Amino acid sequence: MKAAGKDVSAYDRAQLMSVEYDETELATLADEKIRTFQADASREAGIFHHLITLPTYHTAALSTDNLAKEYFGDQGMLGYVAGVQRKEIRQGIACVKHQNMSGSDIGDDHKEYFSGEAALKAAGKDNTMNQF
C-alpha cells in the first residue's frame, strides 16, 4: 500500500497482527499476497519451495503449547481427548491409531513369528488402540 502511495499512518506497525486489523484493507491485501506467495515466487523467480518446515515448526509449537495448558491445567487428560483425540477421530486422521503408525504391529508380527505364543507383544486384545 505504501509503495502505491497510500497513507498507512493509521496502522500501528507493532500491532499489525492484532485482531482489530483483520478486516482492514491492509489485512485483506496482505492476506492475498500471503495466499499467492508460493505461486508468485514460482512464476516470478522460477523457483518453487514449499517452506513446509515453517508451518510445521509453528503448528507443532502452537499445538503443544495449547495442549500443555489444558493437559497440565484443570482439564487434565480431557485436554488431550477433547483437544486432540476426538478431532483426529472426527477428521479421520490415521495417527489416532498411533501404535500402527509407529510400526508396533509389524514388530509384533516379527516377535510372534520367531517366538510364537511366548512373544511379548506391544499390542494385543487389551491395546488401547483397539477402541478406535
| Average of per-residue pLDDT values in the chain | 85
Q: How far apart are CA 57 and CA 62, in angstroms?
A: 9
- The owner of cell 477433547 is 82
Q: How far apart are CA 107 and CA 99, in angstroms?
A: 10
Band (118; pLDDT cuts 50, 70, 90): confident
Band (84; pLDDT cuts 50, 70, 90): very high
Over residues 30-82, the pLDDT tens digits come to: 999 999 988 898 899 887 777 788 889 999 999 999 999 999 999 999 999 99
The predicted structure's pLDDT at residue 14: 92
The predicted structure's pLDDT at residue 35: 94
Q: Which one-letter DSSP state was computed for residue 60?
A: H
**Which spans in the chain are helix H?**
25-35, 37-45, 53-71, 77-80, 86-91, 98-102, 104-115
